[in-house]
Amino acid sequence: MAVNDRRRTDTGVLLEQASRIQTLNEISRVVSSTLNLRTLYDTIYEQVGRVMDTTQFFIALHRPERNAIDIAYQQEGGVVYVDQEVEFGTGMTTVVIEHGMSVLFRTEDEFDEFLQTHGLPAPLVGDRDSASGIFVPLNTGNRTIGAMTVQSERQCAYTEDDVQTLAVIASQAAVAIENARLYQRSQESVAQMEALLRAAQSILGTLDLRNVLDSILTGMREVMPYYFAAVLLPDHSKGHLDIAGTVGPLDPTQRETMRIPFGEGVTGTVFCSGEVLLCDDVRECEEYIDHGIREVLCEVAVPLKRGDTVVGVLDVERDSVGAFSQADLDLLTLCASQAAIAIENARLFTEQQRRVFELQSIQSIVQKLTPLHDVPAIAAVINCELKQLIDYHSCRLFLLDRQHDVLVPILLEGSTQPELRVKLGMGVAGWIAQFGRSVIVTDSLNDPRGTQIPGTPVRAESIMGAPLIYEGRVQGVITLSKLGVHQFDQNALRLLEIIAAQTAIALDRSRLYDELRPEAVTDELTKLYNRRYLLERFKEERSRALRNGHSLVAMMLDIDRFKTVNDTYGHDAGDVVLRELALIVRAVVRAEDIVARYGGEEFCVLLPEISADNAERVADRLRLMIARHAMPASAGVDGISVSIGLATLQSDDGGMELFSRADLAMYKVKHAGGDRVCVVSEDAFRFTEGGRDLVLSDEQHLA
């Protein structure tokens, strides 16, 4: 293969890599766009099929509760099979799930050898024999939920690049599947809850907990007068009852701050025992806790029960001794039964609404992260969007520098936080990075991991954090903090872990993009930008020039009689000429000018914010520098000349007209003999040389 052709082939490979990155971004966005499981499986299959052979395709999910593998989706020969089940521990998929590893086999012999090495039987899924295939795990954070497989009837149908590509898709697919499964379960729970609500409509007509509580207390008062009543609901994480609703003379501050520990007082005792407790005279009742209402002399507390579970306590008090009869107790018990149903239904409804909101918020975050490649931009999205799900005061994101065993903070634009690097094992973030586990620190002052930042006030705060894990390795840490103790619960930690998994994927995608980006936009031979990058920058510069009223000039250069160099001295000599020319152009033009190899021996320089006269002077100076430059011996020729065309952006240019005009002007020079500059303006062509306009003969114009 000729050298220039080989270079062009290498450039094609780089373009293909860039295209693959863009395709993966598109696939991630499409895969994240649905919460319907069947639609999601079809979408994953279609998207994988964009980049590799999917003659046979499987999505297998681990069902540990049944010790089985659910072949949730199988596409083979145009036929779709769903919900097949095989025993866990009996095949290749089990190995992939247990070890979280990817497997590539290029031939049937490699596949058979792998089965024999691991003592595995022949595969049980699918009717067609495959000659090559890839197995990759479906990972969500540090958990493997299943495996994805593509197989082909052709040998060597896949490469290591395909394994990496499928692994990236599988990571996004795993999160999408988990989200869809969670959403499906949520929808099923909502449907079940709605059936319960229809049965409860005769009891209460609202699902708002505040309205439910008000209706219970005010409705009960109409049939059984009382002096004070309250509904108390448990906070299991803190071990006490909170006053959720009251009617009567209780100070609002008391209502907000009063906490009844489980097992203490009348209501705390009833919550633990599940039995009615009557105090005919509170002055003689050991369980009674004086809450400052002197008029109260008699109290009864009734458990709010759903089955055998106590979900709260109904407390009623009167201002006379022995004020409750057996009929009152029976009525209170009936009210408590109705109240328990209404409260639990309202709680379930609120919970399901919250879960749906959480899933929608997570989906929104994933969609916003998918197109991002810039690490600070990813961090900014997380910091902004996470507040929809979790209440916190401060969010910190760190990347793990494994070479120095430190966590490096990702600082947001305008951040005033100190740029403190955290050693592995130090503080909450360092502990998370070292052990790869999520954690809730309920009180930073009483936990050895709650290190104090020098120069900040000493104060108690709650800290919660999760590792950013991708492909089984800790990549970084995310922590949230909030003033006060016991500010985070397990549900908040669950949400943080989901977002941490998405963040890890986004950050790794950013890393891969950064690694491949320079190669994708650079011409390998000349080390100048390639045509693809030039056109990307042109769109930005054109928009900026038209918006700000600035000029933009395009300069096209083509080596005169370059074919003679290649034909006479060989393509190696031609490559030397191209590299030398690239060095000269880069040395002459300004740092802000964009220099690219446009194709073959043709180069393009985009000059922003320059006058037409100055652009002509630059072009002529460049022409002279090239003509006077002594080529190295390996170039075969002593020197070269170039034809240069100049064009200026017009206000009505809507596309690539600027390049077309400059290219046409350059060809005018070549037809006139080369080694000149031609400026095109309003479809008129003007030749210059050494700063002077030239008048060409008819023969030169028609050459």
Strand-pairing partners, residue 409, are 398
Residue type, 411: L
Half-sphere exposure of 108 (CA within 13 A, CB side): 8
Half-sphere exposure of 438 (CA within 13 A, CB side): 22
Q: What is the side-by-side strand order in the sheet with 228-235?
A: 259-261, 240-247, 228-235, 309-318, 298-306, 277-279
At residue 342, what are phi and psi to the nearest 5 degrees? -65, -45
Rounded to an integer, what distance in angstroms lies between the CA atom of residue 450 and that of residue 481? 11
Give 661-703 as a 3 state SS string: HHHHHHHHHHHCCCCCEEEEECCEEEEEECCEEECCCHHHHHC
Residues 6+ apart with CB under 8 A from 166: 48, 52, 102, 134, 136, 148, 150
Q: Which residues of 76-92 are buried (b: 16+ CB within 10 A; e: fewer)?
A: beeeeeeebebebeebb
Rounded to an integer, what distance in angstroms lies between the CA atom of residue 644 and that of residue 677? 5
At residue 380, what are phi and psi to the nearest 5 degrees? -65, -40
Strand-pairing partners, residue 138, are 146
The dihedral built from the CA positions of residue 220, 224, 225 and 226, taken in this order, carries a sign that is negative
Residue type, 434: Q
Any long-range contacts for 404-407 (C-beta under 8 Å, 24+ apart)?
407/433, 407/476, 407/477
Count CB neighbours of 472 within 10 A: 14
Strand-pairing partners, residue 552, are 608
Angle formed at CA 446 by CA 442 and CA 449, multiple of 5 degrees: 80
- Answer yes or no: 601 catalytic: yes
Question: Among the options 178, 580, 601, 616, which is catalytic?
Answer: 601
Give the single-character DSSP code of 396: E
Helix 571-588 with 612-628: angle, nearest 10 deg: 140
- In order, the DSSP letters of 533-559 are HHHHHHHHHHHHHHHHT--EEEEEEEE
Which residues are marked as active site? 601
